[in-house]
Each structure stands twice: as C-alpha cells, then as structure tokens.
Chains A and B, each alone.
Chain A
Amino acid sequence: MANLQMTAAQWERLIGEELAGGILAPMRELEELYDKFTRERTQVVILNLNGNLTALTLRGARRGVNCSIGYELWVRFTANGGNWDVEFFRAAGAGGGDLVASVTNLADGGTDDLDEENASGWEGSLTLGAAVVAVADDLFKVLVVLDYPARLPLIWTQADQIEQDKFMRQRAAAAYSAVATSLLNGIGELRALADFWGVGVARDMPVARGNAFNRVEETVLVEDRENEDGQGNVVRSIRGLLAAMTVNMQDEGTGGEQDVVRRVIAASAATFDASNTGKGSVASHTPLEKTPIGRWTWQCDDGSDTGALGRETFSGSFVATDGSGITVTFSGLQVEKDYDGPRGFGTIRLRRTYAKTGDGSNLHLAAVTTGIFVGENDQNTNAGVLYWEVQANGGNWDYAFYSDAGRTRLVAQATNIATGAAFTATPFGTTGITVVWTAGSAPVDGTQGTISCQPFVTSRSADGQPDRFYIDTSLTGTAGLIQKLLADRFDGYLNSDASGSETIEDAWMTGGTFPPFVTADN
C-alpha cells in the first residue's frame, strides 16, 4: 500500500512519455522490422476512417497482378437491399477487368470470406463495421504489406527460366537473416536502456529514474523466482521495479489508479492423451497478463513405474503460437500439488481421477470425486489400487481398505459411519495412507470392490511413451500493446484496465511509428 500521491500528469510523464514513448516505441518498431525480415505475414493497412471494415485478412498478394505495383487495393461499398456488396480493385476507377475480390450481400457487422474474381488468386476474409456507408469513389484504399521472405519466391520465381533465380533466393534469404540479426543488437541496446532507466546507476546519478519515482531500490526490472515449499507445491515470487510500480499504480490516491490497456489471457482445461495410463484433470484458469500465447505440453518424468507413486512429477515445454517465438522449459509439477509456472502461468493443480469397481450404483460408497487418497505409495497400495469392504456395525457401517486382493493387509479403516455420511479412514498402524470418502446411500454388509487412483507413468502400456497432457493459453479479446510488449520481451506487466478506461494509452508507444495494421501483431 504505497499511495505515492503523484498527479496523473506525473504518472503520464513517467510511463507514457518516458517508458512507452522513449524506450518501448523504438523497441516495438525494431521488433516489427525484425518480423518483416524473418516472417511471411501479409499485413493490411486501411487508409480510410469511416469504419466500414473492422477486420480484413488477405493472402496471395502479387504486385502488378492482383494489386497495384505499390501493393494497393481500391475498395467500393455498394448497398444491396439492406446489406452491402464489397468489391476490391487492383487499380483506381473500378474497371471490370480490375476486380480482384468481392463479398456479396453482407449485413452490417457481418463476417464473410472473400470471393476471388478474375482468377486473381486472392484469399481472405473481412468483417464489416456496425454502420457501413456507401463508397463509390477511389477514396477507400487498402495497403498490403508483405514480409520480405514471402516476397522471395514471387521475385526470383524461375518462371522466366532465369537460372540465377535459385541462387538469388538463397542469397537474399541469407541477407535478410543477417539484417534481422543486426536488428537484435538494436533491440538489445534498448533493453539495456530500459534497465538503466528503471534501475541503473551512473556516476552522478545514484538512483535511477524508475526507482526514484517509485521510492524503491530495485536492482532488476523483473525477477520471477521459483520456490518449492517443501511439501511439493511450487510457488513463485515476482519482484523487481515493474512489480513495485504495479502496486504503486493501483494505490495512487491523488492522480487516481494508473493503468495501461489489459491483456487478458485464458488457460484451457488440460487435454490428456487418450493412450495415457494415468488419469487426471486440470481445471481451466486465468494466468497473469504476461503469460505467452501457445501450447504448454507436460509429460511424466517420474511415475508409479519408477517408484514415485503418490508423488508423480511432470516436466514440460511451452511453444508460442502467436509468432512471438517464445519457448520455455520447466519441471517440478507434482500430482495433487499446486504449481506456479514460469511467465505467469498457473496456479494449476493436477488432480487425480479415481475409478471404483463393485458399486456401479454408488450404494455402498459415494461416487468417486477428487482427493480420495492422501499419502498413497508403492507400499500401502497395489500399484495405486486399494480393495475395500463394507461391514455392518449396528445401524452404521465400517469401511476397511486393503492393499492386496486377498484382503489380508489392512491399510486404513473407518468405523461406525452413518449411511451417506462423510468419513476419513485413518491409517492402520504405520501404513501412512488416509482415505477421504463418503458412505453410500444404501450399503450392504460384506460388499467388496476396488478403488484405484490411476497413477501416472513414464512409460505407458499402449506405446511406451510418458503420460502426457496439454494446456493452451489464448488471448481474450484484443491485447493492450504496451502490456503485450512488456509480456513478450520483459516477462513483465503493469497494472491494467479495460480498453477505454486506461490512464496510459497505447498511443504513447504506437504514435509516430509505423502505420497501424488492421490486426496488430506487435
């Protein structure tokens, strides 16, 4: 709880002018240029402010063929009853021979795929604005921006039987890569500038700007440290200037709460391989705003087949699917323990899925839930299986759990349990296993069955591969661009709010740089 009692103007100068405008803006510009020399995107700029198109994706650009030499398209919007026809032309004047793509009879706000015209080769889709206006002149233009690697096969095509084309494609690709590498040096310089601004010192500057404003003495912008609590739970502590600044932004009482535009990430429930031996679940969750977008893959590296029943552990890797290029590896997720992952992922918990036999209607024992076993291992179960028996005790019931099918090795028991009542079967002797369950709706004396925790293995019976599961992180809505850059390149984030309610606009970072693409990538 800080409340620095700074005005909104003071915060805007710090985060807007200085961080976003002086450091993140050039960094973002170099990131975009790096992508331009390494990727194969087709990006789009709309040169009109009437809002007729809110989304436009294009594939198949060929300058001089399906767009102008300057990669331009002219777009017309014509009323069709209460809907709209949209036509794309490769030249001004809307000549019939210049029609290259169209959408017919689409309502305001609607989305549709483009129809190719005159064998132009265009593919794509568009979404109309909420209140489209007719355009019957050449004042609605679209610029197509093709990344340089995507241009190579279109320039040196060998279609004209020019022998040097193959060599030019190879040499140009190498040159583009060299340019991209040099851009990384520039990005590194700006990262160092960010560190100096936030936490650096100089001979006559004993306190950095960021530290001074926030009245802290941090040594790094971001620190994200993993700690294991001795019980198998993995927790993380996030420190550094950005963390301190986030709290100060929240607690500002004079200028009001300060925030950038949000970047909301959703993490799916886990998907498990069908051929897994072990069974479990991981619920969906909302990770931190700095979490990257992509697939988190987990595989068992210490299982019941390697003597770790009860504490099976997983390691994993993450690969980004949004073009950010982020990859991460991690380990230490233990079954039925909390896990905080790197880069803001988590908290998740891998829950067991139990399987019961001998009681299909849940008369003797309640339906299986989570958390039935506590303290299970190789000695007090039979590869994760317990053998249960219910016995009458006056008007109530005794529940006994054995680790062998012959029911000679009692490991846990609960006595005098009422019908339908919850119980905890405590360890018998020093077995160490507890069973937390509920009596069934109509137990019958002498009934027997099994309960298995279906433990995870490093070599599953189907194919010898480790048990595996996946979680996908995805973006909800659109991302604040300052928040996105901080997440991708700094593993950090600031206090945030919904677009329109932020106090530090993305425009501090995007203004005066490259024109805004319809779909913001950087």
Chain B
Amino acid sequence: MAIRLWIRQDKTSKGALEEPKAVAIDATTAPGPGELVDVDAATPAEARRVLKLARLKEAPDRKKDRETWNLWDDARDRVRPVARTDVEG
C-alpha cells in the first residue's frame, strides 16, 4: 500500500528538521511548505525508512556493498513524487 509523506521544512525546538509526516492518502496540500511523496510501505515508520534510503546523498558502492545497493535501488522505485507544497496551509 502507499503512504503519502509530507517532507517538511520546519524545524524542531532543537533546530533539527522535523521528520517527514504521513498525511492523508489523498492529500494535495500540507500544513506547511515542502514536498509530498508517495512511498510503497505498510506503515509511516517503514515509509520514512524507505524515503531516507532513497534520498541518500551518494549511491552505495555496488561492488563493495551489494546488499545496501539493492535496498537503495529498490527504495528509489518505491518513492514517487506527488506535489510541492510551497504555499503555507
């Protein structure tokens, strides 16, 4: 099943970015600026893990760590952009 995540730009009281938040599966807006993506996952927690893997800054080394590369490659297929939410809701 798909989980729709809002990738947020606001920060916690300690200055770190807020974790991506699951929004309604048919949501087209979010409470603040950011990006909406769909992730194939059973739960929001799993969806966040898949998203984090899919959005690694550097691809894993396919030769040195084939397992991680496979997970990364699979994660990229499970994440689909939906919309940007640049206007605060």
Task: Give bound CA distance, A252 to B18, whole Å.
Answer: 18
Binds B, one of A1-9, A212-220, A307-315: A1-9
CB <8 Å contact, B18 and A257: no
CB <8 Å contact, A501 and B21: yes
- Interface residues in A241-284 by Cβ distance below 8 A to B read 250-257, 264
Most-contacted residue by chain B among A254, A256, A257 (CB, 10 A) = A256
Question: Which residue of the partner chain, among A3, A256, A286, A498, contacts B27 with CB atoms under 8 Å?
Answer: A256
A7: B residues at CB distance < 8 A: 24
CB <8 Å contact, B18 and A255: no
CB <8 Å contact, A501 and B22: no
Task: Give bound CA distance, A286 to B12, whole Å.
Answer: 13
**Interface of chain A, main secondary structure:** loop
A477: B residues at CB distance < 8 A: 13
Q: How far is the CB of B48 from chain A (nearest CB, A)?
A: 10
CB <8 Å contact, B32 and A501: yes
A286: B residues at CB distance < 8 A: 14
CB <8 Å contact, B44 and A250: yes
- B1 CB within 8 Å of chain A: yes
Task: Give bound CA distance, A3 to B24, whole Å.
Answer: 12
Task: Give bound CA distance, A250 to B47, whole Å.
Answer: 12
- Interface residues in B1-23 by Cβ distance below 8 A to A read 1, 3-4, 8, 10, 12-14, 18, 21-23
CB <8 Å contact, B43 and A257: no
- B87 CB within 8 Å of chain A: no
Q: How far is the CB of A249 from chain B (nearest CB, A)?
A: 10
- A497 CB within 8 Å of chain B: yes
CB <8 Å contact, A251 and B31: no
- B83 CB within 8 Å of chain A: no
Task: Give bound CA distance, A497 to B6, whole Å.
Answer: 13
B31: A residues at CB distance < 8 A: 500-501
CB <8 Å contact, A256 and B21: yes
- A231 CB within 8 Å of chain B: no
A501: B residues at CB distance < 8 A: 8, 10, 18, 21, 31-32
| Interface residues in chain B, defined as those with a beta carbon under 8 Å from any beta carbon in chain A | 1, 3-4, 8, 10, 12-14, 18, 21-25, 27, 31-32, 41-47
Q: List 10 A-B contacts (CB under 8 A).
A: A2-B43, A3-B42, A8-B24, A253-B22, A253-B41, A253-B44, A253-B47, A257-B44, A286-B14, A498-B18
